Amino acid sequence: MRNKILNSLIVVSLLATLLTLTSSETQAAVNTSCQETQGTVIAVEIPTTILSETIDTNVYLPACYDSSDQRYAVLYLLHGMGNNADQWVSLGAPAAADQMSTQFIIVMPHDRLETSFNAAFVNEIVPFIDENFRTIDDRNYRAIGGLSYGGGWAIHIGLSHPELFSRIGGHSPALFYGDSPNLVTWAQQLLLNMVISIDIGDGDPMLEDSAAPIDELLTEAGAQHTFNIYAGGHNEDYWATHIGEYVKFYTTGW
């Protein structure tokens, strides 16, 4: 009887030890896993031989980027005239990204209004980001958007380089001089899938002169796109109000 009791005590002791070890190992795994809930915005200087100055760029990296080996889709956002790489940050793009179930990188370069910005964007900015960050180098996981003047660039660059982007967003976009005849040609030549979203405020003076003509040209070309007119003007209050909607559009399918 005594032997049976001793054996039972030994078994119980061994089980308790195993449970303790398992619990400790589990806790260790939990302690070493990433608990971040917000991404970070870092400042990056992208070298250029095309533009006159180094391209100051804000890059949003999703939560746990540093502790993972995951690769991410990339959203490029271009600011308006007279602003800089901080505009999309202040409008809440990183904060909106933190709320999404899909994680991705946001790249927000500073455009100093040089006419060669498009060449620098395609030949220097995109390659630099793909080489220095864990991106998915695939047009289906790359989108471009912008507001006002930046929206004009997003439409110009996105439509003329469909091999790089699958989604384009123009928020209160400016129609670039000389782009009118090109938009139809570019859109008609899109053999690859491309989705475009245009929006503007009903009190925006660029509605009739820019956004509406862009919509008409894209419709003429048969391009897949949406054109939304909301309440508001040509200002940051308008864009900030719709920032969540913008981010949701860009990340659809990621």
Indicate whether 2 pLDDT > 50. no
Residue 20 has pLDDT above 70, yes or no: no
Residue 166 token pair = 């699958």
Rounded CA separation 70/72 (Å) = 7
Inside any domain, residue 108: yes
Q: 15 pLDDT exceeds 50?
A: no
Domain carrying residue 106:
39-251
The encoded tokens of residue 49 equal: 């031989």
- Mean pLDDT throughout 158-178? 93
CATH number, residue 122: 3.40.50.1820
The number of domains in the chain is 1
Q: How confident is the model at residue 173 (pLDDT cuts 50, 70, 90)?
A: very high
Question: Could you report the per-residue pLDDT of 239-248, keeping only the tens digit for each?
Answer: 999 999 999 9
| Residue 138 falls inside a structural domain | yes
pLDDT (tens digit per residue) in 98-119: 999 999 999 999 999 999 999 9
Provide the whole-model pTM: 0.85
- Residue 30 covered by a domain: no
Q: In the prediction, which pLDDT does 8 show?
A: 43
Q: Does residue 245 lie within any of the structural domains?
A: yes
- Whether residue 1 is contained in a domain is answered as no
Q: Which residue has the higher pLDDT, 4 or 185?
A: 185
Q: How far is CA 254 from the centre of its chain?
A: 11
What would the two tokens of residue 133 be? 């960050």
Compute CA 165 distance to the chain's CA centroid, rounded to the nearest angstrom: 12
Is 11 within the bounds of a domain?
A: no
Residue 139 lies in a domain: yes
